[in-house]
């Protein structure tokens, strides 16, 4: 459902908010990000759940950010029950009471999930990552194996693709400079750490080609415009499916987790819990991962997947040296420092 339609729905529903029977009469509503991802979720999660439980459901599309939740706060009307959100919105919604604080026993317990998928108001559903990638046909005989190789201009001369903006790049720079992933935000929280990150980026600056849209990185790699690039793992997998021989390097990747949340004012909380438990089953998560290049969150899912599939997912050993960019520490850092570091970034790129 688009933004205009969502606004009309909220405005209409607001007229009914005072009438409890009408407000509660709506169907159970599951909300994803739309597109191919939600098409897969419909086949793997939504429809099988509805059939198993005898539930009539409807879907909507989340556009990202806080706008749609703000509309609910302003109108007092909550048309959704379960939503897939990113960490920043999950944290805010939990703090503001928009999302339900979970009883984890109702979704199988915390031990069922990787640690980074466990939050007070969110149950992790997928893992996505940003990493180094190259085109196997254009890189030469010697292949990059570590993220620090991104800085090795002598061995691999040529342009590097990086996402425009300070977020992720400062973290990557510190890891390339030898900072362990677990210490990145501790170092970055000091003036000396920020200076160190920018100094490391100075080494590479003449060779960087900045991308803004996620599709640009694999396009540039395919065309040979850059010799290596930072890219979303999903974009790399998508290019591979089209026959482009892109290779991901999983050393020092940065990953995040999208989570299911339950709206605190949902009239279908029991059904919402059942749905999340259903969607967290390892066999169902494995079906999702077979169609979409996202890592699972159930600790047993990897056992259900062929090794060649796991090799291209942010899962298992591929996350051994990774930085969790969706941590509370990371979120707090960027909330506190985004504006200041963006100003410095803009001045740095203009030099």
The tokens for 309 are 């599939």
- Contacts of the segment 232-240: beta carbons below 8 A, 24+ positions apart: 232/128, 232/129, 232/130, 233/128, 233/129, 233/130, 233/131, 233/293, 233/312, 233/313, 233/314, 234/128, 234/292, 234/293, 234/294, 236/131, 236/133, 236/293, 236/312, 237/293, 237/312, 238/293, 240/312
Banded model confidence at residue 9, pLDDT cuts 50, 70, 90: very low
Average pLDDT (248-274) is 97
Average pLDDT (17-28) is 57
Does residue 3 have a pLDDT over 60?
no
Question: In the prediction, which pLDDT does 25 show?
Answer: 75
Q: Is the dihedral of CA 40, 109, 66, 17 positive or negative?
A: positive
Average pLDDT over the chain reads 91
Task: Give burial (CB, 10 Å; 0-12/13-18/19+) of 2.
Answer: exposed
Question: In the prediction, which pLDDT does 335 show?
Answer: 83
Does residue 316 have a pLDDT over 90?
no
**In the beta sheet, which residues pair with residue 130?**
232, 254
Percentage of the chain modeled with pLDDT above 90: 84
Does residue 17 have a pLDDT over 70?
no
Question: In the prediction, which pLDDT does 14 show?
Answer: 40
Residue 102's closest CA among 260, 257, 256? 260
Question: In the prediction, which pLDDT does 88 show?
Answer: 86
Average pLDDT (249-261) is 96
Does residue 10 have a pLDDT over 60?
no
What distance in Å separates the CA atoms of residue 97 and residue 180, rounded to the nearest whole number?
A: 35
Q: Which of 103-117, 276-290, 330-344 has the lowest mean pLDDT?
A: 330-344
Banded model confidence at residue 101, pLDDT cuts 50, 70, 90: very high
Question: In the prediction, which pLDDT does 16 show?
Answer: 35
Average pLDDT (36-54) is 96
Question: In the prediction, which pLDDT does 163 show?
Answer: 93
Question: In the prediction, which pLDDT does 8 show?
Answer: 36
Average pLDDT (275-281) is 98
> What are the chain's domains?
3-127+257-319 (3.40.190.10), 129-255+324-350 (3.40.190.10)
What distance in Å separates the CA atoms of residue 215 and residue 319, rounded to the nearest whole number?
A: 23
Q: What is the DSSP letter of 141?
A: S
What distance in Å separates the CA atoms of residue 34 and residue 19, rounded to the nearest whole number?
A: 31
């Amino acid at each position: 459902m688009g933004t205009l339609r969502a606004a009309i729905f909220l405005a209409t529903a607001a007229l009914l908010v005072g009438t409890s029977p009408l407000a509660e009469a709506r169907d159970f509503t599951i909300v994803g990000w739309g597109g191919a991802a939600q098409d897969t979720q419909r086949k793997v999660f939504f429809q099988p759940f509805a059939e198993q439980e005898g539930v009539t459901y409807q879907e909507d599309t989340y556009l990202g950010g806080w706008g749609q939740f703000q509309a609910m706060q302003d109108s007092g009307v909550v048309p959704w029950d379960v939503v897939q959100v990113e960490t920043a919105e999950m944290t805010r919604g939990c703090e503001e009471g928009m999302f339900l604080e979970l009883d984890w026993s109702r979704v199988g317990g915390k031990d069922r999930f990787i640690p980074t998928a466990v939050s007070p108001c969110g149950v992790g559903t997928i893992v996505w990552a940003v990493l180094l990638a190259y085109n196997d046909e254009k890189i030469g005989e010697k292949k990059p194996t570590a993220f620090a190789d991104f800085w090795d201009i002598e061995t691999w001369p040529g342009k590097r693709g990086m996402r425009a903006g300070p977020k992720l790049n400062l973290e990557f720079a510190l890891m390339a400079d030898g900072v362990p992933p677990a210490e990145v935000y501790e170092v970055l929280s000091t003036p000396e750490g920020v200076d160190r990150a920018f100094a490391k980026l100075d080494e590479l600056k003449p060779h960087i080609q900045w991308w803004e849209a996620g599709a640009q990185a694999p396009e540039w790699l395919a065309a040979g415009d850059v010799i290596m690039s930072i890219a979303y793992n999903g974009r790399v997998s998508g290019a591979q499916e089209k026959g482009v021989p892109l290779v991901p390097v999983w050393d020092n990747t940065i990953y995040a987790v999208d989570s299911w949340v339950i709206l605190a004012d949902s009239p279908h909380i029991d059904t919402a819990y059942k749905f999340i438990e259903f969607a967290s089953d390892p066999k169902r998560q494995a079906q999702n991962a077979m169609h979409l290049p996202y890592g699972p969150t159930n600790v047993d899912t990897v056992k259900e997947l062929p090794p060649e599939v796991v090799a291209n997912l942010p899962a298992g050993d591929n996350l051994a040296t990774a930085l969790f960019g969706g941590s509370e520490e990371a979120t707090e850092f960027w909330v506190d420092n985004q504006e200041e570091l963006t100003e410095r970034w803009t001045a740095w790129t203009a030099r």
